Every structure is written in structure tokens, then in C-alpha cells.
Structure 1
Amino acid sequence: MEEGEGDMFGPVKRVYEWMRLFEGKWMVAGGWAIDLHIGEETRMHEDVEVAIFRDEQLHLGPLLASCETMAVEQGRLVHWNMEKRLEPPVHEIHVSKGGEVQLEILLNERSRGDFRFRRNEAITFPLARMNLQSEFGIPYLNPEIVLLYKSKNTQKKDEIDFTHIFPHLNEGQREWLKQALIHFEPNHPWLGKLLNN
């Protein structure tokens, strides 16, 4: 999606209008979730990422009927016709519609009232508190969970996101991220800042 001048959060607002038809739980993820938490756009974004739960993927049918959908399987994009249920480790769906709407839909795991981090299911978060809502009414994934995903194969944009969001994390968010990184990426450089603040 192209970001329009003077249209703050324009791509996310358009996805919000589209995703309102989705019958399951959904939330903006990735870098846009970081910016929604801060309340301003801090960098350019290639696309919009939306998190849903794997057990609600069939609700995507009516929403994506007129779209081109591709799933990422073993590092390759393959056509997905939505009749085939996507099972782990497949978790990423690429969607395009007339060249206008482009987003990634990320399948997440949950059980017994908890979100479970797919890369280490011992790391959990209560479902009832795993997302917040922006001033525009857009649901977004908690920034500490977004940062946990970004801790794997961290890129320059992820470092930018961490730098921008860190002052906006409360004590509970920093503590959860610290404990999660200790279990998942114990040598990650972000731990140094989390341990010293």
C-alpha cells in the first residue's frame, strides 16, 4: 500500500474498514502496531500485517473471495484457495486485491485462554489483554509481543521500532518482554537495555 501524504495511518485505516467484516478476532501487528501504540508514523512500512488465530482462518473466506491469496510454505509463495486448512508451521498469508490492498495475515496459536508464541509455546500471554486499541478504534497487538517476534532475525527496521517504542513501554510490558527474551533469545542485545531500566 502507498502511504498518502497527510493521511496518517491511511493504509491501516483502509485495512480496518476491510477487516471489520471478519467474524473472528484480529489485530494489526508488526511495525504498524508499534506506530499505533506511539500515536504517530515513525517510519515507512512496506505493507500491513494483521494477526488472527489459526482456529479462525476459515472465517477469512468471505473476506478474501475476490482476492489473490498466497501462503508461505518452506520459504516459497504458493497459491492458497482457502479450502485447504493451513497447519503449522505454515503461518503467513499474502493477500492482494486489484493491486490496491496488500497485507500479510499471520496465523497465531492459542489455547486455554492464552496466546501461545508459535516459536516457543511455553511463552504465553492472556488473550483478554494481548491487544490494545488505537485512538481510531483500530485493534493492535501489544508492542511487547510485536517486539518478541522482531527479536528473531532482527533487521534495521526492527531496531528502529525498538528505539522508538521503548520509552512508551510501561514496567509490566518491559518485564514481560525481558522474561520472554530470556527464554527465547537470551543473547539478544535488547536484553541489556531491559535489564538496566
Structure 2
Amino acid sequence: MTWEPLPVTEVARLFAAFEAPWWIAGGYAIELALERPVREHDDVDVLLLRRDHVAVQQVLEGWELWAADPPGTLRPWLSGQSLPTTVHDIWCRRGEGPWQLQLMIDESSAADWTSRRDPRLRRPIATLGALDARGIPYLAPEVQLFYKSQAPRSKDWTDFTAVLPVLTETQRHWLAAALPADHPWRPHLA
């Protein structure tokens, strides 16, 4: 499956009309936090909340949208269809061309984000991200690192090492508390 990710600025232009919260996620979120490139990327991720996932179809009208059903099956995401809580990823492309965008769906309740991996992890949606100098929303680096921490790959270590020096004490504390006691990143967060 071929990927040709949209540039982050084009993603921002595309989502400018989306009236719900959204954030650039993945490795690009780390780069937006740092305001500099860190590494090559295979795709571009956008995080949105499950409560808003059907509405995103209007933003991506005319695109092919495919739900990633665990354990790794892609199926068409039909117009107006609410996806089950087991589906967290949607692959998007224009026509039958290469994949250009991956949507990641996360949970929320009222004004709080809730981690789909650990429902005990919650925080106000208003604190889930930040804006870069151009006004592009990105996922807070500590939250992005939490998602990268489950089984860190080489690129996840690269992202962790790059952003670690700029994490605030509050961000380090949040991430350390979210990680298992024996996680290899915890000693670096002290």
C-alpha cells in the first residue's frame, strides 16, 4: 500500500472548515512542538474525538475513507456510518491514488479526553494540544509520546529523544505517571 502523505499545511487547510477539535498527531506533532524537522515520515496522522468522527466525512467529501478494523482489515467507511469503538484508524485517499491521510479516533466524555488505551488517563480537551506559529493544532508531545510508548520503535525513540529537552516539568510528570513503572523512558523523565 503506497503512501504519499499530505503536507501538514495542506492538512490544516483541509480541516480549516471542521468545526470540532482536531490535532496533527504522530511524528509531525513532535516536530510542530519543536518547530523543526526531526526525521522522515511515512504518513500524516490527524487525531479527532469519536463524538465528532462522522462529521469529518463532510470535510473529506469526495475522498475514499477506509476503516481499519482490527486486526488489520481495511473496509469502506460508508457515509453517515458511526464506527464501533474497536475502530481507531481511518485511511484516506483521493480516488484510487495513494493513501494521503490517517485519521485516529480517540475517546472523550463531556469536556475531557479519555485515553482509549487506559481510561484512567483523562484531561481537559482544551489541554490536549497546542497551536504552532501558523495556527496549526498539534497533539501535546507528552500525550503523543504516551501513544508511542506501547512498543517503542526506532522512530519513537528518535521522537522521544528529540522532544525530551523541551518538555516542561508538568509534561514530564504527566508522561511518567502514565507509563508503566518498568518502562525504559521513565528514568529519562526524572
Query: Corresponding residue for 1:68?
Result: 64
Once the two structures are superposed, what CA deviation does each residue of 1:148-194 show, in whole Å capped at 9, x if it has no partner? 0001121111000000000010111000001111xxx3321001111
> Please, which runs of 5 or more residues in structure 2 have no aligned partner?
none
1:189 maps to 184
Query: What pairs with 1:168-179 in structure 2 (closer than 5 Å)?
Result: 168-179=166-177
TM-score under structure 1 normalisation?
Answer: 0.89
Alignment of 1:154-165 (within 5 A): 154-165=152-163
Following the alignment from structure 2 to structure 1, what is the Cα–Cα distance between the partners of residues 99 and 77?
17
- Aligned residues between the structures: 186
> Residues of 2 paired with 1:82 and 1:168: CA distance?
41
- Name the TM-score, length of structure 2 as normaliser: 0.92
In 1, distance between residues paired with 2:122 and 2:154? Answer: 26
Residue of structure 2 equivalent to 1:58: 54
Paired residue for 2:12? 16
Deviation at 1:93, TM superposition (A): 0.4
> Does structure 1 conserve the Cα–Cα contact (< 8 Å) formed by 2:4 and 2:99?
no
Residue equivalent to 1:78: 75
- 3-state SS of the aligned residue for 2:41? coil
Q: CA separation in 1, counterparts of 2:75 and 2:152? A: 25
1:67-146 correspondence to structure 2 within 5 Å: 67-74=63-70, 75-98=72-95, 99=97, 102-146=100-144
Secondary structure (helix, strand or coil) at the match of 2:152 reads coil
Counterpart amino acid of 1:95?
A: C
Task: Give the match for residue 7 of structure 1.
Answer: none
Q: What code does the residue aligned with 2:130 have?
A: L
* Cα deviation code 1:46-96 (max 9, x no counterpart): 111001110111211222221111111022111111332012121100001
After superposition, the C-alpha distances for 1:6-41 in whole angstroms (9 at most, x for unaligned) are: xxxx81001100011212111101100000000011
Once residues 163 and 177 of structure 2 are traced to their aligned partners in structure 1, the CA distance between those partners, rounded to angstroms, is 18
2:22 to 26, 31, 34: 26
Letter in 1 for 2:35: G
Q: Which has the higher helix share?
A: 1
SS at structure 2 position matched to 1:122 = coil
Residue 101 of structure 1 and its aligned partner are, at CA, apart by 6.7
Q: CA deviation at 1:117?
A: 0.6
SS of equivalent to 1:51: strand
